[in-house]
Chain A
Amino acid sequence: MTRKQKRGVLIGAAVAILAIAVIMVAMALRDTIVFFQTPSDVAEGKVQPGERFRLGGLVEDGSVKRGQGTKVKFAVTDTLQSVSVSYEGILPDLFREGQGVVTEGRLDSSGLFVADTVLAKHDENYMPPEVAAALKEKGVKLGSGAEHPDDKSN
């Protein structure tokens, strides 16, 4: 093989691998990303039942009800709207009424959000940025610790 051919094979192989990777990334981004929605978004009908998404907001005061075994129900609110959530499993340590929470799952036909993941945060002052931004957008005043989590978050 000449110098040019050798280089051609190498560059060709590299470009082929890159092209495959680009296609895989594009397909994966189309199929696997999950959108973040607030209870108001849900109320406005932005999400179809069965579509997987993340629901974020505050755990509504007085809404947490434990059912049989590890089943639990609570409501997520952005103080304007709220969505009922059902979850089966163990809640994170920092799950508390009035605290920020992000859950992932699907709406069923009755409008109940069936979550399979409830995300915990390490820090009691930590507010997931999406939740903080979404609440701010809705004009909700947050406690001082929530919007500017202080330095001891890890």
Chain B
Amino acid sequence: MIVEFGHFALVLAVVVALFQTVVPLWGTLSREPRLMETAKPAAIVQLLLLLVAFLALTHAYVTSDFSVANVVANSHSTKPLIYRISGVWGNHEGSMLLWVLILAAFGAAVAIFGNNLPLSLRANVLSVQASIALAFGVFILATSNPFLRLEDVPIDGRGLNPILQDPALAFHPPFLYAGYVGFSIAFSFAIAALIEGRIDAAWARWVRPWTLAAWMCLTLGIAMGSWWAYYELGWGGWWFWDPVENASFMPWLAGTALLHSALVMEKRETLKVWTILLAILTFSLSLMGAFLVRSGVLTSVHAFAVDPERGVAILAIMTIFVGGGLALFALRAGELRQGGLFAPISREGALVLNNVLLTTATATVFVGTLYPLLLEGLTGAKISVGPPYFNLTFVPLMVPLLIALPFGPFLPWKRGDIVAVSQRLIWAAVLALVAMVATMALSQRGPWLAPIMMAVGVYVMAGAVQELAYRAKIGSAGRDEILRRLRNLPRSIYGTTLAHFGVGVMVVGIVATSAYQTEKVLVLKPGDTAEVAGYTLTFKGVAPHKGPNFREQLGTIEVMRDGTPITTLHPSKRIYDSPPQPTSEAGIHASWRGDLYTVLGDAQEEDGGYAFRFYFNPLVRLIWLGALIMFIAGGVSLSDRRLRVGAPKRTSRAETPAGVVAAE
């Protein structure tokens, strides 16, 4: 009964979305405020209906209602509660429902917190937002309905793929979708601005908090996915340049560029056309991500449900929104007047460089991800583009970006002095040199480039701190003055510093792990020892063990360092009850120095030995710590009064004819 209720709520939500698409837009075209005002209640009702639908599906999962096909395919009665809940979005149908729920949530948030938006802009934004929800709602009902019942009710479900039964992965999709889908707000604002034919600094002020919130979620979502892949897949790696990873990384790169260009637009009223284009492109890349992951056109280690029919449907949705958005952009962009002037060496210039490098980097990832598809379509040849491609294209673009990064916040708007800024960054450069020498002294091997890249990471961290020190006049003012200044700095400054510091932390982690990882594959018999990166590992044996919904062969390895016992690791090979699928669980000893990572392999046939794979990943935790710092930085920035939703008040201009405002 509850399931039918949820199904019905979903259908109603689609109807509401249709209403919300048509009526408010009609209102703005016919300048009828009463029609425009319907957008707000419609957005809220749409959210509530989708919430009911989502909770109904969750209820079916929690109570293991095996009359629902989707529950049978993805759940099992013995599964722990948390994985019964995460199972809701651990499959194609349920995750699409979550997708539209988040879409509606962002729309309703704009409706509720956007009271200061001009009425017509709000109506148009919510109308565009609802049109996306409408497209995906119809898609769910037509091809991916999670509420379908089975006639023959099985006794138990087939279970969730065991490697998905993991806390990090349980919450990875919601964050990832909140990021993907959150960029829809920037898209809706961009389309609304194009429909109205005018755009100004206030537009950027309204769009930035939403984009920042989406960017935060995407940052955390990608980091969680990477962390999960690291400890769960047992390959000792944290990023594989896999198409599915790239699908989430491209919107992140474009979204990062968008955050920076919207800043220029807000402060200086320039880069308008570019910002609008970037907003459209960022969400287009999100849609493309959905298409790539769900259509099965790409080979991936973690491909989603493969169904060509759905792929075609998502491709159609993507074509309508991307094509429509770009066409509208081509028609209307010329009407948007360009704003203030600036010298190439200036804050604006630095942010333009940031944008050029980030979008070029996005393009290289795009080419690397889609080239195999293109080549297969054209010549039939099947190829794979792997990490070497990205190391040769993406990484060289990041180096100038990182070197330029600390300069940006030091440069004043309009016109700057590069020599003066270089002098201010002198301490960051000195620290970077120290880091380089230290890296060379500590590591006897590794690529020659690695110490330089370590230096770059440290330089970015130090540069971020130094910017704060400069603003607080640390070193030149008295203690009280410094404290007063630190107190009075806006939160967005702290956010910037923290985010850039996080980038540096992540770079150090990435370089250390990539360049100085130790890997050993060997066979040990019980009692044997192995030396890995200063640790002595003693293999004690393997014993069978039974978990709540799996059986496993549990290895025991004692870890010693300099003669003192450190820990005991238990890498294991598991077989889950349902579905009966084998997985490896790595035994990991984490420390700030790095992770000792052990994987149990197959038993040797004759002598009772086992194959093992050992890694030492130096400073690997810094990668996710850096991402976490960036996430927190976003939150700090978002709490800034000036960015807070609803800060600027503008009412009179809403009624001004479009042409007059555009010429301001």
Contact partner of A120 among B301, B388, B601, CB < 8 A? Answer: B301
Tell me whether B602 and A126 are in contact (CB under 8 A): no
Closest to B385 in A: A33
Set of chain B residues within 8 Å of A119, measured between Cβ atoms: 301
Return chain A residues, CB-CB under 8 Å to B302: 122, 154
CB atoms of B521 and A89 under 8 A apart: yes
Q: How far is the CA of A122 from the CA of B301 in the complex (A)?
A: 7
Whether B500 is near chain A, meaning CB under 8 Å from some CB there, is: no
A109 within 8 A of B: no
- The 8 A CB mask of A22-36 against B (1 = contact, 0 = none) is 001101110111111
Stretch at the interface among B27-35, B112-120, B159-167: B159-167
| CB <8 Å contact, A70 and B392 | no
What A residues does B158 contact at CB under 8 A? 152
Q: Provide the bound-state CA to CA distance between A98 and B363, in Å.
A: 39
B343–A126 touching, CB < 8 Å = no
- CB-nearest residue of chain B relative to A12? B344
Q: A28-B393, A31-B392 are in contact. Are A130 and B382 (CB under 8 A)?
A: yes
Query: How many A-B residue pairs lie within 8 Å, measured between CB atoms?
Result: 156
Chain A, residue nearest B605 (CB):
A66
Segment 562-589 of B: residues with Cβ below 8 Å from A: 573, 579, 581-584
Name B306's contact: one of A13, A54, A122, A153 (CB within 8 Å).
A153
Q: Is A91 an interface residue (CB 8 A)?
A: yes
Which residues does chain A contribute within 8 Å of B353, judged by CB atoms? Answer: 13
Whether, in the assembled complex, A6 has its beta carbon less than 8 Å from a beta carbon of chain B, the answer is yes
In the bound complex, CA of A34 to CA of B464 (Å): 40
The number of chain B residues with a CB under 8 A from chain A is 69
Structural contact, A69 and B522, CB atoms closer than 8 A: yes
List residues of chain B with CB within 8 A of the CB of A149.
305-306
Q: What string of 1s and 0s marks CB contacts (under 8 Å) between A127-154 and chain B?
A: 0111001100000000000001111111
Is the Cβ of B611 less than 8 Å from the Cβ of A152? no
Question: Any chain A CB within 8 A of the CB of B535?
Answer: no
Inter-chain CA distance A121–B299, complex, in Å, is 10
**Do A34 and B383 have beta carbons less than 8 Å apart?**
yes
Q: Is A21 within 8 A of B344, CB to CB?
A: no
Query: How many whole Å from A80's CB to the nearest CB in chain B?
Result: 17
Is there contact, CB below 8 Å, between A24 and B384? Answer: no
Confirm or deny: B74 has a beta carbon within 8 angstroms of a beta carbon on chain A.
yes
Which of the residues B90, B299, B392 comes within 8 Å of A128, measured between beta carbons?
A: B299
Report B362-382 CB contacts with A as 1/0, cut-off 8 Å.
011001100110000000011
In chain A, residues 84-119, which have Cβ atoms closer than 8 Å to a Cβ of chain B? 88-91, 93-94, 104, 119
A122 and B163: CB pair below 8 A?
yes
Q: Pick the contact of B521 from A21, A28, A88, A122 — CB < 8 Å?
A: A88
Max chain A Cβ within 10 angstroms of own Cβ: one of B90, B296, B297, B384: B384
Q: A88 to chain B: which residues have CB within 8 Å?
A: 521
Q: Is the CB of B385 within 8 A of A18?
A: no
Min Cβ gap B330→A in Å is 19
A121 vs B583: C-alpha distance when bound (angstroms): 11
Q: Is there a chain A Cβ closer than 8 Å to B65's Cβ?
A: no
Task: Determine the chain A residues whose CB is within 8 A of the CB of B90 once the complex forms.
Answer: 154
In the bound complex, do residue B304 and residue A153 qualify as a contact, i.e. CB atoms below 8 Å apart? yes
Q: How many angstroms from the CA of A59 to the CA of B392 in the assembled complex?
A: 33
A32 touches B306 (CB 8 A): no
A38: nearest chain-B partner, CB-CB: B382
Question: Are B521 and A33 in contact, with the CB atoms below 8 A?
Answer: no
Within the assembled complex, what's the spacing in Å between the Cα atoms of A1 and B388?
Answer: 42
Contact A29/B385 with A18-B360, A24-B396, A69-B523 known, Cβ cut-off 8 Å:
yes
A-B residue pairs, 7 tightest by C-beta:
A36-B382, A90-B601, A32-B388, A28-B392, A32-B389, A151-B305, A93-B582
- Not counting A94-B581, A134-B382, A151-B74, a sample of 6 additional A-B residue pairs whose C-beta atoms are within 8 angstroms of each other reads A18-B360, A28-B388, A33-B371, A36-B384, A129-B298, A129-B299
Chain B residues proximal to chain A, CB less than 8 Å: 73-74, 90-93, 158-161, 163-164, 234, 296-299, 301-307, 341-344, 349, 352-353, 356-357, 360, 363-364, 367-368, 371-372, 381-386, 388-389, 392-393, 396-397, 521-523, 573, 579, 581-584, 599, 601-602, 604-605, 611-613
7 A-B contact pairs sorted by A residue (CB < 8 Å): A6-B342, A17-B356, A29-B367, A54-B384, A90-B612, A130-B299, A148-B306
